[in-house]
Amino acid sequence: MSPVPQSVIDEVYARCDIVEIISGYLHLQPAGRNFRALCPFHQEKTPSFIVSPEKQLFNCFGCGTGGNVFSFLMKHEHLSFMEALRLLAEKAGVTLSGLGGEKEASSALFELNGFAKDFFIKCLGETSKARDYLLKKRGLSPEVIEKFCLGYAPPDRDALLRKAEEEGFSERILIEGGLLIQRRDKEGYYDRFRNRIIFPIFNLAEKVVGFGGRALGDEMPLYMNSPETALYHKSDSLYGLHLSRKAIAECGKALIVEGYMDVIAVFQAGIRNVVGSLGTSLTRRQLRLIRRYAQEVVMVYDGDKAGIEATLRGLDSSLAEGFSVRLTSLPEGEDPDSFIGRHGSETFQERVSCAADLLEYKLGFLRNRYDSTTVGGKASIVREMLPTLEKVANAIEKSGYIKRLAEELSLGGRASLGEEYILTELHKLESKETRAMQPSPINIDPYPAERSLIQIMLQHSNMVDRIKAEAGEFQCSDYRKIAEVIFELHQDGRASGAGRIVNILGDDKIEALVSRLAVEAAPFEDIELAVADALRAMRNNERKRKIEALEKRIEDADEEGEEELVKRLQAECQQITQEMVSYRRGGKLGKSED
């Protein structure tokens, strides 16, 4: 039970437009009266995710996920209902009652991180050595330094700690925020970041979740990051995405580099669709962040062999997420920052534009490692290519890649015994994919009449009174729950729109069902006739259940030798059967039953 009154929840819901909220996460395109996008909840290349401004619902006709604006935030951002409610209430300017006024731990951490960011920025402005490093040695402009909110952590062991305590922040919250490290003797704490250039890490709401720090002297490690905290999870973060997401959405492509300075150098060079993975491989969570804005990624990583191998291993997951992936590596010893500084932004852009398809790049890398003229070399190449091929989401693309690999390794025509084995492994993968492409069996709804009545009530509220009066009890438990909520809202005189119904149900499966029925085009030309037909079908189903029950009683009575009871039950059964015959003759013509 929510501690917030339903009336307040309804007010938040009424003030939030689902199209406006979801467009902050996905690239929505008009589709008639609705909007369409690639579903963020499953892999697809053809958009099947529909947002209805009229119904204030979303529904994916591919994976079946659906709901209202609360449901979307809960599923997409992995929030509880109360967390989603608080977020939307803040956007809508609604004050939540009944929460006791306690500040959430996450709010306190965000406040702390904001303070720390401002502290580091102030220290940068007061420290000529740090400013000269960024302006002169790294060649950054004052505008870019300000844009990325770069700062400096002084060398003192407790500079941030002292200032934070002066501002009322406790030692406990500084520890929770990852800004302090416990001393070895366990007698107190000291600042995690000291004598380092500071790179604040922002989330998509443009709030600081963590920090990175680069040593300004000889300290090791060269780079240091915030630890995992309640706000910062490295596998969920992409450095610079809060600044680049618009450019990524506009060009449909994200440029992925590794480090903080790589992102800033590329951004300063005028290439704005760039983010940093802060590691050599992309995680699935990072890929899903990118997928909100683009379906193509171009990886630009350092040219050392170990880095390339790590990158290739991590990129298989991008294929599984349905991305188009291209990759280019820089000369050994170069990173994007140094390459742009030495060769200029135009040369860097040319290199990016010539990036190779992932499978083509990986095949070239493996051919340099193994002798592709020998059976053993071919086997090694195929062995390392198969895991990547298995991850290709599109079946047609996968088949094409398999054929191309066989051609590249000259596996066609007559083949030696070893080559035949390799071909067999490739064909196994291809046949496996072909089987996966076979259509799934169609699920038949065992309660089509009840489904029709629910869909009609969701789309035509003027039919609720008649259906409530004539329908009787719904046999399907899901449809029964939906009907009960609709009837209750209608009786109380409250709006019974599908989005409000979802607020009350609190069940993912039923929410998705409501969303689908409300959003999909109903197959009814004449609503009055459709209601009459569905009501007759429900009554007929009720008759069938009565006949089944009577037949069981007749069987029991016959075994007990109760002839009179058998005759009476048989007469009841015959009467119901005649009613069913009458239904079959006239039920589909829109005739009424007395």
Domain count, the chain: 5
Q: Are residues 20 and 142 in the same domain?
A: no
Contact at 8 Å (CB) between 320 and 394?
no
Preceding omega of 142 cis (within 30 degrees of 0): no
Q: Is residue 74 part of a domain?
A: yes
Residue type, 144: V
544-566 pLDDT tens trace:
888 888 888 888 888 888 888 87
E strand or H helix that includes residue 36: strand 34-37
Beta-carbon count within 10 A of 83 CB: 15
Residues of the chain above pLDDT 70, percent: 85
Q: Is residue 443 part of a domain?
A: no
Q: Are residues 278 and 388 in the same domain?
A: no
CA distances from 88 to 193, 262, 388 (A): 35, 35, 41
**Residue appearing with tokens 């993975």:** 277
Q: Does the structure show a pLDDT above 80 at 292?
A: no
Residues of the chain above pLDDT 90, percent: 28
Q: Are strands 223-225 and 208-215 parallel, antiparallel or unpaired?
A: antiparallel
Could you give phi then psi for residue 203, rounded to 5 degrees?
-90, -175
The torsion angle over the Cα atoms of residues 512, 515, 519 and 521, rounded to 10 degrees, is: 60
Distance in angstroms (rounded) separating the CA atoms of residues 86 and 94: 9
Given this model, what pLDDT does residue 412 score? 61
Q: Which of 19-23, 147-151, 237-241 has the lowest mean pLDDT?
A: 19-23
Distance in angstroms (rounded) separating the CA atoms of residues 532 and 193: 72
**Residue 482 structure tokens:** 């939906």
Question: What DSSP designation does 355 have?
Answer: P
Q: Are residues 203 and 286 in the same domain?
A: no
443-492 pLDDT tens trace:
567 888 889 998 888 888 888 889 988 888 888 888 888 888 888 888 76
Q: Does the structure show a pLDDT above 50 at 417?
A: no
Q: Does the structure show a pLDDT above 60 at 135?
A: yes
Q: Does the structure show a pLDDT above 90 at 199?
A: yes
Given this model, what pLDDT does residue 192 score? 96
Q: Are residues 419 and 503 in the same domain?
A: no
Beta strands in 203-279 (DSSP E): 208-215, 223-225, 253-257, 274-276
- Per DSSP, what are the bridge partners of residue 198? 151, 213
Given this model, what pLDDT does residue 101 score? 40
Q: Are residues 206 and 240 in the same domain?
A: no
Given this model, what pLDDT does residue 100 score? 43
More confident residue, 187 or 340: 340
Contact at 8 Å (CB) between 211 and 198?
yes
More confident residue, 213 or 547: 213
Q: Does the structure show a pLDDT above 50 at 334?
A: yes
With CA atoms as reference, report the closest residue to 22 among 43, 2, 51: 51
Of 436, 465, 487, which marks where a domain is finished? 436
**Residue 586 structure tokens:** 């006239």
The torsion angle over the Cα atoms of residues 493, 499, 501 and 507, rounded to 10 degrees, is: -170
Q: Does the structure show a pLDDT above 70 at 98?
A: no
CA distances from 291 to 38, 44, 212, 325, 475 (A): 8, 11, 25, 12, 41
More confident residue, 237 or 593: 237
Q: Is residue 470 part of a domain?
A: yes
Mean pLDDT of the region 167-194: 92
Q: Are strands 253-257 and 296-301 parallel, antiparallel or unpaired?
A: parallel
Q: Does the structure show a pLDDT above 80 at 308?
A: no
pLDDT interval class at 127 (50, 70, 90): very high
478-530 pLDDT tens trace:
888 888 888 888 876 665 567 778 777 767 788 888 888 888 877 777 888 98
Q: Is residue 80 part of a domain?
A: yes
More confident residue, 541 or 137: 137
With CA atoms as reference, report the closest residue to 239 among 215, 212, 217, 220: 212
Q: Is residue 430 part of a domain?
A: yes
Of 334, 363, 392, which marks where a domain is finished? 363
309-318, 389-398, 446-455 — which one is most confidently predicted on average?
446-455
Distance in angstroms (rounded) separating the CA atoms of residues 296 and 289: 12
pTM for the full predicted model: 0.60
pLDDT interval class at 592 (50, 70, 90): very low
Average pLDDT for the chain: 83
Q: Are residues 496 and 577 in the same domain?
A: yes
Contact at 8 Å (CB) between 483 and 472?
no
152-175 pLDDT tens trace:
999 999 999 999 999 999 999 999
Contact at 8 Å (CB) between 69 and 56?
yes
Q: Are residues 253 and 170 in the same domain?
A: no
Beta-carbon count within 10 A of 457 CB: 27
pLDDT interval class at 286 (50, 70, 90): confident
Q: Does the structure show a pLDDT above 80 at 298?
A: yes
With CA atoms as reference, report the closest residue to 393 among 62, 72, 64: 62
Query: Would you give the end-to-end CA distance of the chain in angstroms?
Result: 45
Q: Does the structure show a pLDDT above 60 at 432?
A: no
Contacts of 417-424 spanning 24+ positions with Cβ under 8 A: 418/375, 418/376, 418/378, 418/379, 419/375, 419/378, 421/379, 422/375, 422/378, 422/379, 422/382
Contact at 8 Å (CB) between 179 and 159?
no
Range of the domain at 40: 6-92
With CA atoms as reference, report the closest residue to 471 among 526, 516, 548, 533: 533
Mean pLDDT of the region 78-93: 82
Task: Report the CATH number that the domain containing residue 185 is assigned in CATH.
Answer: 3.90.980.10
Q: Is residue 99 part of a domain?
A: no
Q: Is residue 73 part of a domain?
A: yes
Given this model, what pLDDT does residue 357 score? 86
Given this model, what pLDDT does residue 436 score? 44
Given this model, what pLDDT does residue 549 score? 86
Q: Does the structure show a pLDDT above 90 at 429?
A: no
Q: Does the structure show a pLDDT above 70 at 418?
A: no
Q: Is residue 442 part of a domain?
A: no
Q: Are residues 131 and 161 in the same domain?
A: yes
Q: Are residues 115 and 224 in the same domain?
A: yes
Q: Are residues 572 and 457 in the same domain?
A: yes
Contact at 8 Å (CB) between 254 and 298?
yes
Given this model, what pLDDT does residue 306 score? 60
CA distances from 234 to 213, 229, 237, 491 (A): 14, 10, 5, 50
Mean pLDDT of the region 338-364: 89
**Residue appearing with tokens 């009066």:** 469
**Residue appearing with tokens 């939307």:** 88
Distance in angstroms (rounded) separating the CA atoms of residues 268 and 246: 16
Distance in angstroms (rounded) separating the CA atoms of residues 6 and 70: 14
Q: Which of 104-118, 215-229, 579-593 has the lowest mean pLDDT?
A: 579-593
Q: Are residues 485 and 583 in the same domain?
A: yes
Task: Report the CATH number that the domain containing residue 491 is assigned in CATH.
Answer: 1.10.860.10
Mean pLDDT of the region 420-441: 53
Question: What DSSP designation does 98 have?
Answer: S
Of 384, 416, 436, which marks where a domain is finished? 436
Q: Are residues 485 and 399 in the same domain?
A: no
Residue type, 461: S
Sign of CA dihedral 249, 252, 256, 261: negative
